């Protein structure tokens, strides 16, 4: 079974309609190879289905997010970006000065999640997010 067929079956089992637009949106996101905006997804889908509306893309992304098939992150570029949910969660360190982006393994947040649950009884959704700050190079020699 292909990845698209597997996703289609997951959506079907959850009671969601499998429209041509929705399947094209899923395909575009699964094969993006990283973070993409809803606008970028809409552009790609319009190549095959010219009349798809960006609101359809957002509704589909919302369904996929609630099903935990997609992650959404504010990477500081204006629009939130979406990524097909990786098997192992990861995060990003983003330099507010030079824009450098580094991936941060989820293991760094395991202690945070455990402490939040222990102290507050709250299970935090720490699947994918960005941490902003200054990279080593910008801390040593600020641009200017």
Going from N- to C-terminal start, the domains of the chain cover: 3-84, 90-140
For residue 105 the two structure tokens come to 């393994």
Task: Please check the confidence at residue 143 and state whether its pLDDT lies above 70.
Answer: no
Which of these, 65, 73, 77, 78, lies nearest to 90 by C-alpha position? 73
Architecture of domain 3-84: Orthogonal Bundle (1.10)
Q: How many whole angstroms separate alpha carbon 59 and alpha carbon 1?
A: 26
Q: Three-state SS string across the chain, please?
A: CCHHHHHHHHHHHCCCCCCHHHHHHHHHHHCCCCCECHHHHHHHHHHHCCCCCHHHHHHHHHHHHHCCCEEEEECCCCCEEEEECCCCCEEEEEECCCCCEEEEECHHHHHHHHHHHHHHCCCCCCCCCEEEECCHHHHHCCCC
As a CATH number, domain 90-140 is 3.30.1490.190
Cβ proximity of 82 and 70 under 8 Å: yes
- Measured in whole angstroms, the distance separating CA 26 from the mean position of its chain's CA atoms is 13
pLDDT of 123 reads 92
Tens digits of residue pLDDT in 76-107: 777 888 888 767 777 889 998 998 889 888 88
Tens digits of residue pLDDT in 101-133: 898 888 888 889 899 999 999 998 887 778 899
pTM of the predicted structure, to 2 decimals:
0.73
Tens digits of residue pLDDT in 28-72: 988 888 889 999 999 999 999 898 888 999 999 998 888 888 888
């Amino acid at each position: 079974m292909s990845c698209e067929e597997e996703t289609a079956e997951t959506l079907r089992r959850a009671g969601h309609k499998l429209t041509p637009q929705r399947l094209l949106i899923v395909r575009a996101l699964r094969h993006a190879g990283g973070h993409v905006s809803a606008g970028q997804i809409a552009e790609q889908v319009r190549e095959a289905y010219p009349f798809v509306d960006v609101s359809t893309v957002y509704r589909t992304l919302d369904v996929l997010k609630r099903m935990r098939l997609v992650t959404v992150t504010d990477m500081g570029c204006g629009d939130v970006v979406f990524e097909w949910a990786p098997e192992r969660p990861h995060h990003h360190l983003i330099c507010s000065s030079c824009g450098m982006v580094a991936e941060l393994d989820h293991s760094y947040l395991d202690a945070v999640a455990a402490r939040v649950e222990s102290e507050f009884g709250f299970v935090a959704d720490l699947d994918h997010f960005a941490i902003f700050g200054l990279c080593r190079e910008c801390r040593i020699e600020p641009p200017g």
